[in-house]
Amino acid sequence: MAVHGAPMPASAKTTHELERSASGGRAVAPVLRVENLVKRFDTPEGPITAVDRVSFSVAQGELISLIGPSGCGKSTVFNIVGGLVPMSEGRVHVNGEAIAGPHAAIGMVFQEESTFPWRTVLDNVAFPLEIAGLRKSERIERGMHYVKLVGLDGFEKRYPAELSGGMRQRVSIARALGSAPKMLLMDEPFASLDEQTRLLLGDKVLQIQQELNQTILLITHNITEAVQLSDRVLVMSYRPGRIKRVVEIDLPRPRTSAIVSSDAFGRYVAAIWGDLREEASRGMLSEEAQSSRHERA
Ligand SMILES: Nc1ncnc2c1ncn2[C@@H]1O[C@H](COP(=O)(O)OP(=O)(O)OP(=O)(O)O)[C@@H](O)[C@H]1O
Ligand SMILES: [Mg+2]
């Protein structure tokens, strides 16, 4: 089991190692390169640094997870990489190009609800195909393939309001997978699903990722999910969000969810939990202190 990194800042130091390890020792140009990313927000309590000098890169066909406690800056990194939020400092390159707004090669699954309420399930899933100019028959065929893939067969004519939260999230996942982007960014895509659906849907995502040689950046706070799916897991610290540790998941591929019961899997989960536990405790203490300050004020 390879666990890189020491107490912070480990991120910048590991960029080149990571590119090499991801390519079996050969240095290749990464599809995504994030360098010294900093994001500050102005808040009524003063400026906060949400993300502090985060660096990592992702090679073609790699699946990387960013894991960390609530509020550590995961969605902020996601939004910046997706070109939706400007950064305060640093550089983000996709295929060698500096990111300047949403990028055609990138598909996104958001943490929040993102279905179109006025469209049926099938029309939601087929939306990017419509934008891409596919004929109606092709849109229906491809859209239905992905509707079935996420287990929503029979619900294709329903509207989002008629579905559960987990089902709506599956519509968003199907929509992103169906447009077959070269790079997929997913922010807690499985958070509202039960554990069994999450594991099985993870298998499907891996299957598609292998078929398309897709590059995926997955944001999660679920350790099992991160180990099940990833080539590398980047553990973030509580505020300011930094990369605390990089864990290479050296489990055989193709992988299925059956792997979660193996000893090796358990060892990765334990190692990552060791790091996360520390950060989550810091997060809870800091939030408790903040709320008692508010109560006193
Ligand atoms: N638009 C904003 N204005 C001010 N502060 C913000 C803004 N967006 C995020 N933050 C702050 O930045 C920090 C990181 O937020 P972010 O949403 O990236 O966390 P996260 O790791 O995705 O958390 P979660 O796991 O709960 O989704 C938090 O302290 C949050 O309050
Ligand atoms: Mg988030």
Residue 250 CA to residue 206 CA, distance in Å, equals 15
pTM above 0.75, yes or no: yes
| Burial of 47 from C-beta contacts in 10 A (0-12 / 13-18 / 19+) | exposed
Q: Going from the N-terminus, what domains does the chain have, and what CATH number goes with each?
A: 2-105+182-268 (3.40.50.300), 116-180 (no CATH)
Indicate if the pLDDT at residue 20 is higher than 80: no
Q: Starting at the earlier edge strand, list the strands of the sheet with 46-58.
A: 46-58, 32-43, 89-94, 97-98
Share of the chain above pLDDT 70, in %: 88
Q: What type of residue is 156?
A: E
Question: What burial class does residue 180 get, using C-beta atoms within 10 Å of its C-beta: 0-12 exposed, 13-18 middle, 19+ buried?
Answer: middle
Tokens of 207: 């299957």
Return the beta strands (E) in the chain as ranges.
2-4, 32-43, 46-58, 63-67, 89-94, 97-98, 106-109, 183-187, 215-220, 232-236, 243-248
The pLDDT of 32-36, averaged and rounded, is 96
- 88 Cβ closer than 6 Å to some ligand 1 atom: no
288 pLDDT more than 80: no
Mutate to test the pocket of ligand 1, among 43, 75, 220 (most ligand atoms within 8 A of CB): 75
Amino acid letter, 239: R
Q: Closest Cα to atom 24, ligand 1: which residue?
A: 70
CB-based burial label for 196 (10 Å; 0-12, 13-18, 19+):
exposed
Closest C-alpha to ligand 1, atom 11: 50
Ligand 1 lined by 70 (C-beta under 6 Å): yes
Q: Are strands 32-43 and 46-58 parallel, antiparallel or unpaired?
A: antiparallel
Q: Kindly report, residue by residue over 238-275, the tens digit of the pLDDT.
A: 888 999 999 999 999 888 889 999 999 999 999 999 98
